[in-house]
Structure 1
Amino acid sequence: MANRYALRMDLPQSWAIVDVFTGQPAVIRQKVMVGMSPREAEDMVVQMNVGDIRRRERAERKG
């Protein structure tokens, strides 16, 4: 399965998490995922992709 979320550099040392399907910054709990430190963005994008894969796998099992 392809990852839904990826990192994009906004400014030096400022990263955004983007939805690769829409090209738009991701929004989690009404917060736009921009202006993040490299470490914070890397950790968050991994968590978001794992969660998305789990959701899609559950949806596939339900049919």
Structure 2
Amino acid sequence: MANRYALRMDRPDSWTVFDVFTGQPAESNNRVMVGINAGEADEMVGRLNDRDAKRREQTGR
């Protein structure tokens, strides 16, 4: 199963978590995941991909 979310470097020490299918920045808790540090971005990618994988398993997609 392909991961839905990935990282993109905006500039040194500034990252965007984005949806690889749409190219748009991801959102979590009403916050757009743009301009965040590497540690937070990496953690968020893991959480979002885990959540998406569980959703796809439950819906059979």
Quickly name the TM-score band, shorter chain normalised. over 0.9
User: Aligned with 1:16: secondary structure?
Assistant: strand
Per the normalisation by structure 1, the TM-score is 0.91
Per the normalisation by structure 2, the TM-score is 0.94
Residue of structure 1 in register with 2:35 after alignment? 35
Q: Note the aligned Cα RMSD (angstroms).
A: 1.2
Residue of structure 1 in register with 2:45 after alignment? 45
Query: Identity over aligned residues, as a percent?
Result: 57
Residue of structure 2 in register with 1:59 after alignment? 59
Residue of structure 2 in register with 1:13 after alignment? 13
Residues in 1 aligned to 2:24 and 2:50: alpha-carbon distance in whole angstroms: 19
Runs of 4+ in 1 over 4 A off after TM superposition: none
Q: Per-residue deviation at 1:27?
A: 1.2
Q: Larger C-alpha radius of gyration, 1 or 2?
A: 1
Residues 5-58 of structure 1: CA distance to partner in whole angstroms, max 9, x if unpaired? Answer: 000001110000000000010111221001110011001100110010000000
